[in-house]
Structure 1
């Protein structure tokens, strides 16, 4: 189950569970849309994977199966580890032209 981390790892912008601005990689590294689009160019600085919109977990249990924030709340502990933009530029250079499936 996704952690739904509460903030951008780079700039610490708030990303509540219903935020459409959250972007994640397959390891759940979490960034805001602004950082993902502009600084990181949709490439995770931690693993080199692609960043995609994070799904939104329903706030209430619509079907009685316990699949909601009511039963599976998002954590409150943020991971703030700003990307080293110089190292990320080198990573982008090495990955240039490689689609996510070929990384």
Structure 2
């Protein structure tokens, strides 16, 4: 797993707030993402695995989502929100939101 995934990689956007600041501040997060399409009926699968802080792991998070043909939410967004809740940066509430 790589810290670069949350800094400038496949889930960098998911780990930024709307104002551009990092959702978890300076905390290093190691992550890996993936997608696949298939099944019957056809589904869009999104997965995310991470641990944080990456220099002294305290929690591991893994998320797998199956969406209809159109993306509703991605696993990296759900994973980020779970990490925010765990580290006290966000109150628990609805995690997956429709676009």
State if a TM-score over 0.5 links the two structures: no
User: TM-score scaled to structure 1, two decimals?
Assistant: 0.23
**TM-score normalised according to structure 2 size:** 0.23
Q: Which has the higher strand share?
A: 2
